[in-house]
Amino acid sequence: MDEIIKMFKVDSSKNVSLKDYKTDGSFGYNKEDALTILNTFKTEMDELQETLYATNRYSLLLIFQAMDAAGKDSAIEHVMSGLNPQGCQVFSFKQPNNEEYEHDFLWRHYKALPEKGRIGIHNRSHYENVLICKVHPELILKEGIADLNSVTNIDKAFWNKRYDSICNFENHLTANGTVIIKFFLNVSKEKQKERFLERINDPLKNWKFSSFDVQERGFWSEYMKTYEDAISKTASKNAPWFIIPADKKWFTRIAISKIIVDRLKSLNMVMPELSLDEKNKLEKCRADLLED
């Protein structure tokens, strides 16, 4: 699978075209074996999480972005289900509240970062500020930015500065021990339609559907362009993007798991070893307990 994963990775600035990336590929894998493969990765991830927590040197930030119905929630649920909840935190970002609008656009995301030894999952993220806000620039006006009183002032230079802010933010995090992996779940417009209809037709899934989702579907082309721009402008070696096929959820899950496991392994973490003095104290505690 290593060669397949390389096809998904964007780790340097370049002009990304989403048409070059498949949405429905399974790359030789089949659904029947997917659960076994996923469970193997989950076991490895559980062991790596324990080492991450014990060494307390790195944190892991996983960012999930996608169009509606691409499967972000289910991917997070299935991939991360084997982790210890005490070392993992999930944030799903909605529209900013009044307090958040009183700060810069990165403020609320900085507050949600994982501590050392922990895994943070951002279901949508600071990238919404160059995605939905770029498709609907009137949302930028809610931020109350000085000298920005009209959408006509929100030009290419504005967006480039915002991309720079994101890159600087992520460079700062990686320089201080946060490992960042960014996933874009690449779903086709046809598969999105199919999943929307499933949500409408199945009463048990009605709660997942919003008429706003169909409204945003009307901006599909604009969103594809904003994703291409965001990925192109913010991909880096330390904070790469992975454009994952999302039409087959079972493949999406094993691809994400593989990427996370490989990245954690690359940190070459080892369990902390006690000093001779601490080992002697441990033996004394053992002796005391046996005599108790």
pLDDT score recorded for residue 221: 98
Q: Please tell me which residue, 229 or 1, carries the higher pLDDT value.
A: 229
CATH class of 2-291: alpha beta
Q: Express each pLDDT in 169-198 by its tens digit.
A: 999 999 999 999 999 999 999 999 999 999
Q: What is the pLDDT of residue 4?
A: 86
Q: What is the pLDDT of residue 279?
A: 85
3-state secondary structure string, 149-195?
CCHHHCCHHHHHHHHHHHHHHHHHHHHCCEEEEEEEEECCHHHHHHH
Q: What is the mean pLDDT of residues 6-28?
A: 92
- Long-range (24+ apart) CB contacts under 8 A made by 27-34 are 27/1, 27/251, 29/1, 29/251, 29/254, 31/248, 31/250, 34/250, 34/251, 34/253, 34/254
82 pLDDT more than 90: no
pLDDT at 21 over 90: yes
Q: Round the average pLDDT of the chain to a whole number and report it.
A: 95
pLDDT tens by residue, 99-137: 999 999 999 999 999 999 999 999 999 999 999 999 999
Percent of all residues in the chain with a pLDDT value above 70, rounded to a whole number: 100
Name the one residue in this structure whose structure tokens are 């970062």: 113
Residue 41: is its pLDDT beyond 90? yes
Backbone phi and psi for residue 229, each to the nearest 5 degrees, phi listed first = -65, -45
**pLDDT at residue 275 in the model:** 83
Q: Chain-centre distance of CA 78, in angstroms?
A: 14
Mutual angle of helices 31-55 and 249-266, in 10-degree steps: 30
**Would you kindly state where each structural domain of the chain is located, as residue ranges?**
2-291
- Mean pLDDT calculated for residue range 12-19: 90
Mean pLDDT of 218-247: 97
Q: What value does the mean pLDDT take over residues 150-164?
A: 96
Place 79 in a pLDDT band, splitting at 50, 70 and 90.
very high
pLDDT band at 14 (very low <50, low <70, confident <90, very high): confident
- Torsion angles phi and psi, residue 252, rounded to 5: -55, -45
The helix (H) or strand (E) run that includes residue 251 is: helix 249-266
Q: Residues 100, 108: contact at Cβ < 8 Å?
A: yes
**Angle, CA 181 vertex, CA 269 and CA 212 arms, to 5°:** 150
First to last CA, the chain: 54
pLDDT of 278 over the 90 cut: no
Averaged pLDDT for residues 77-96: 92
How far are the Cα atoms of 57, 112, 263 from residue 115, in angstroms, in the given order?
Answer: 10, 9, 18
